[in-house]
């Protein structure tokens, strides 16, 4: 298995809803990432997990809450989002080591209404 | 250079023609430079990871070069085909932090 799987592919949620995005990989990668991409902009890093521990939080608002229950799973819990949080959320994973590329999922397209 | 910058933002190429575009990145404390190809509605796909000054990498008709001292990388597409149409992203890696450029959107016209 050489893929990163993200679910759901599309999500519409109200500003008072609680939802979660899920990311899964079975490549044995020990680093996992959440990126946010707004239209016509490059992906921006949100969180990095290394060996199931949060190692980087790019000053993301607390309405986004990441979780890494095990080495294969990464969740992003969403609560009280704003319409400006509407974006494509990408998950990625990588082996440790300088010469390794990231494997990305195809993303969750989130719309906050 | 403080950010990762790519130029041009977009380009149209006639099928069969060759093309190239640029990525500029901070040269201080260089760690690694990534190139990704991203087609609409698909996942970004890793093309190259480059770590050494003077690196040249090739994958089929696509190749890349790296100059870490001056902070730039070129991506070349030889004999462009319609299936090469995509956005090409470069990203500078510092530790576990990957910072992307704005991408070059390539459209190959038959």
Of B31, B41, B98, the CB nearest to A102: B98
DSSP B2-57: -S-EEE-SEEEEETT--EEEEEE---TT--EEEEEEE-TTS--EEEEEE-STT-EE
- Model confidence pLDDT, tens digit, residues B40-60: 889 999 999 999 999 999 999
**Nearest residue of B to residue A106 by CA position?**
B43
- Model confidence pLDDT, tens digit, residues B69-89: 999 999 999 999 999 999 999
Contact call for A50 and B100, based on CB within 8 A: no
> Are B65 and B55 in contact, with CB atoms under 8 Å apart?
yes
Among B44, B52, B100, the strongest candidate for a mutation testing the A interface, having the largest count of A CBs within 10 A, is: B44
Q: How confident is the model at residue A113 (pLDDT cuts 50, 70, 90)?
A: very high
- Which residue did the predictor score with more confidence, B96 or A46? A46
């Amino acid at each position: 298995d050489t893929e990163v799987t993200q679910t759901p592919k599309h999500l519409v949620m109200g500003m008072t809803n609680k939802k979660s995005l899920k990311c899964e990989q079975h490549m044995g990668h020990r680093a996992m990432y959440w990126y946010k991409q707004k239209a016509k902009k490059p992906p921006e890093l949100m969180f990095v997990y290394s060996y199931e521990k949060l190692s980087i939080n790019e000053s993301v608002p607390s309405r986004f809450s990441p979780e890494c229950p095990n080495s294969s799973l990464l969740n992003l819990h969403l609560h009280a989002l704003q319409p400006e949080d509407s974006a494509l959320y990408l998950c990625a994973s990588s082996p440790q080591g300088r010469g390794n590329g990231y494997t990305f999922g195809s993303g969750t397209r989130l719309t906050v209404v | 250079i403080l950010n990762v910058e790519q130029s041009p933002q977009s380009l149209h190429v006639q099928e069969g023609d060759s093309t190239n575009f640029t990525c500029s990145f901070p040269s201080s404390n260089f760690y690694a430079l990534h190139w990704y190809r991203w087609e609409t509605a698909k996942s970004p796909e890793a093309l190259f990871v480059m770590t050494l000054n003077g690196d040249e990498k090739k994958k089929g008709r696509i190749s890349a070069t790296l100059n870490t001292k001056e902070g730039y990388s070129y991506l070349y597409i030889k004999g462009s085909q319609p299936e090469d149409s995509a956005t090409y992203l470069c990203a500078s890696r510092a530790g576990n932090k990957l910072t992307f450029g704005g991408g070059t959107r390539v459209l190959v016209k038959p």
